[in-house]
């Protein structure tokens, strides 16, 4: 059986016109939701013809899939490189957090919700596989290392730790300066996120934190 590619179509990422269409589709999908966006909306906003859009994308579902693949593929290499790096563990966690907070447009939680609600089983399966390969696998790898180093709870699996870390990153992404909620919460940073992930939001002496940081 032919393996389905888990990266965007090369014709899309190599074409400025296709990328413009995809950027417009991404904005509309994130603003309105998948069901409320039509091909006509995308064509009108992108300033292209219908034949041009259909040259690069087979239908609206393909546009959504290519959007998700592009977001995940863009983060794949830097995340994998950080997971394999010999830099201190905390430095790599901060760099991963920084990428996941600010390294992409839109809201990944909305993307996953719309994918689950509106896409075909084949499209959901493809995006889920890409999500695991490009994003979740590097996070799980570094969480295994964190467990070995003894800096996270031993009763939690690497997959659960990766899920919690990603959830924090997605929350901080929502609170970036482009979001109105930023004014409610105050400033966010990768350093703060990793500190909360490793030590929680409760009070803990600076001396205890520094001991843990020195070990990794």
Contact 32, 45 (CB under 8 A): no
HEC sequence for 29-60 = HHHHCCCCCCHHHHHHHHCCCHHHHHHHCCCH
Contact 31, 114 (CB under 8 A): no
Nearest residue to 172 (alpha-carbon basis) of 111, 104, 112: 104
Determine the pLDDT at residue 73: 92
DSSP letters spanning 169-189? HHHHHHTSTTSTTHHHH----
Please tell me the distance from the alpha carbon of residue 214 to that of residue 198, in angstroms, as a whole number: 13
Contact 68, 127 (CB under 8 A): yes
Structural domains of the chain, ranges and CATH numbers in brackets: 10-215 (1.10.357.10)
Which stretches of the chain are assigned E, i.e. beta strand? none
Give pLDDT tens digits along the chain (216 positions).
446 678 999 999 999 999 999 999 999 998 898 999 999 999 999 999 999 999 999 999 999 999 999 989 999 999 999 999 999 999 999 999 999 988 776 678 888 889 999 999 999 999 999 999 999 999 999 999 999 999 999 999 999 999 999 999 988 888 775 655 555 666 778 999 999 999 998 876 445 555 455 555
N-term to C-term CA, the chain = 44
Please tell me the distance from the alpha carbon of residue 107 to that of residue 43, in angstroms, as a whole number: 23
Measured CA distances, 35 to 93, 124, 140, 213 (Å):
36, 15, 33, 47
Determine the pLDDT at residue 5: 78
Determine the pLDDT at residue 66: 95
Determine the pLDDT at residue 208: 54
Q: How many whole angstroms from its chain centre is CA 181?
A: 20
Measured CA distances, 187 to 102, 126, 181 (Å):
13, 36, 11
CB atoms within 10 A of CB 24: 21
Is the dihedral angle over the CA atoms 33, 35, 39, 45 positive or is it negative? Answer: negative
């Amino acid at each position: 059986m032919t393996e389905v590619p888990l990266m965007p179509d090369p014709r899309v990422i190599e074409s400025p016109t296709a990328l413009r269409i995809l950027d417009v589709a991404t904005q509309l999908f994130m603003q309105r939701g998948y069901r409320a966006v039509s091909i006509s909306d995308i064509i009108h906003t992108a300033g292209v013809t219908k034949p041009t859009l259909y040259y690069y994308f087979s239908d609206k579902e393909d546009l959504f899939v290519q959007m998700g693949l592009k977001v995940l593929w863009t983060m794949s290499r830097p995340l994998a490189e950080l997971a394999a790096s010999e830099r201190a563990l905390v430095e790599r966690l901060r760099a991963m957090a920084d990428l996941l907070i600010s390294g992409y447009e839109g809201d990944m939680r909305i993307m996953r919700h719309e994918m689950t609600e509106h896409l075909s089983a084949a499209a959901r399966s493809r995006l889920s596989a890409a999500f695991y390969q490009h994003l979740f696998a590097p996070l799980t790898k570094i969480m295994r290392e964190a467990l070995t180093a003894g800096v996270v709870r031993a009763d939690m699996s690497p997959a659960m730790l990766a899920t919690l870390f990603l959830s924090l990153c997605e929350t901080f992404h929502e609170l970036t300066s482009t979001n109105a909620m930023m004014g409610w919460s105050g400033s966010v940073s990768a350093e703060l996120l990793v500190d909360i992930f490793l030590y929680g939001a409760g009070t803990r002496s600076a001396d205890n934190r520094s001991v843990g940081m020195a070990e990794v």
